Amino acid sequence: MFISACALLSQFSCEPKSEEKAEATRFLATSPFVKDTSVTREYVAQIHAISHIEMRALEKGYLQKIFVDEGQLVKKDQVMFQIMPMLYEAEMQKAQAEASFAEIEYRNTRRLADSNVVSKNELALAKAKLDKANAELSLTKVHLGFTEIKAPFDGIMDHFYVRLGSLINEGDLLTTLSDNRKMWVYYNVPEAEYLDYKMHSSSGKPVIVQLQMANNRPFQHDGIVETIEADFNNETGNIAFRATFPNPEGLLRHGETGNVLMKVPVKKALMIPQKATFEILEKRYVFVVGPDHVVHQKEITVASEMPDIYIIQDGLSPNDQIILEGIRKVKDQDKIEFSFEKPEKVMANLHVYVE
């Protein structure tokens, strides 16, 4: 009697455990989700001012005055440097005196020519002397004007390459000037991604890109891709893109770096949740369930990564069934029971919405 009771008790206590074990070994599976989408590609970028020039001396002399300071915003035609002008002022005065003398000589010769005292050739010679004197006067005025170095456009100064009182030679670098109202951002795109961009981008519509600054924060203004260079770099296999960004607050400066974020359209992208994959020795795998419910470990190649999602380049087909949850509880060649969930529903439950 006691033995029969124990056997009966054992029977009732074992049945729920078997049911729990059966439930625990049932897996959730899905298939890749196929949809046209776009991926955000990230490219290292160099930031340049739309105008960045070197300010050089046009005449030789001592640097007499500096009217600006390093990092200062200057306006167009604002005087920045003054090279000692005394020599050029003296040359201009000399040329002016010679021009005045030549003019008097020409007037006297013209009166004599009108009275037929001198020939027309002598009048022409006097006129040529006057023209030469006026030309030399204009040249001295130009040289005198070169002693004042003015800003050719509104911009921000860089540091000084010379100091007050320095002897400046013609062509010496004084400073650089940057127009930062707009910025040109250059980045290199691999050949395959360039082809995807050209094949899938809408013609005639501007391509909008974003800029991630060096502090990993997004720049508040979007840019427009305006130029693609003509040739590929044979050494790197890349081609240079140029995007223009407005910079009204002046936050960006010439020479900065960052990352350009550009959306590239992908036709019939094969997408799976990241949680359905696992990694072994830097290779990524999924578990594919065959028609006989046997699990096969399969290597995949990831084309692009999105939040919670991988776009698959190779290794899967749209009809493959992959284990979605519980991949740590199964191994290759296991025979399992599973429930199938449609990929549309799986994607809808992820944190990101696939457009």
- Phi, psi at 54, each rounded to 5°: -95, 130
Q: Which two tokens stand for residue 266?
A: 């992908």
- Phi, psi at 211, each rounded to 5°: -120, 125
Q: Is the pLDDT of residue 309 over 70?
A: yes
- pLDDT digits over 256-300, tens only? 999 999 988 788 899 999 999 999 998 999 999 999 999 999 999
DSSP state of 319: T
Q: What is the mean pLDDT of residues 91-113?
A: 88
Of the candidates 66, 80, 243, 82, the one whose C-alpha atom is nearest the C-alpha of residue 154 is 80
Q: What is the mean pLDDT of residues 238-251?
A: 95
- Say whether 331 sits in a helix, a strand or coil: coil
Query: pLDDT averaged over the chain?
Result: 87
8 Å CB contact between 56 and 174: yes
User: What single letter denotes the amino acid at residue 304?
Assistant: S
Band of pLDDT at residue 1, cut at 50, 70 and 90 = very low
The more confident residue out of 14 and 58 is 58
Band of pLDDT at residue 307, cut at 50, 70 and 90 = confident
Band of pLDDT at residue 200, cut at 50, 70 and 90 = low
CATH fold of 25-35+269-348 reads: 2.40.420
Listed by start position, the domains of the chain span 25-35+269-348, 41-50+181-267, 61-176
In whole angstroms, give the CA distance from residue 207 to residue 224.
6
User: What single letter denotes the amino acid at residue 333?
Assistant: Q
The predicted pLDDT at position 171 comes to 92
Q: Is the pLDDT of residue 158 over 60?
A: yes
8 Å CB contact between 294 and 334: yes
8 Å CB contact between 265 and 200: yes
Helices vs strands, H then E, count in the chain: 5, 19
148 beta partners = 82
Q: Is the pLDDT of residue 352 over 80?
A: no
Q: How do beta strands 26-30 and 337-340 pair?
A: parallel
In whole angstroms, give the CA distance from residue 225 to residue 206.
7
- pLDDT digits over 218-235, tens only? 999 999 999 999 999 988
**Which CATH class for the 61-176 domain?**
mainly alpha
The more confident residue out of 319 and 196 is 319
In whole angstroms, give the CA distance from residue 116 to residue 165.
59
Distances (CA, A) of 33 to 206, 318, 319: 29, 7, 10
The reply to whether 41-50+181-267 and 61-176 are identical in fold is no
Cα separation of the two ends of the chain: 69
Tell me: domain 41-50+181-267, CATH 2.40.30.170, correct? yes
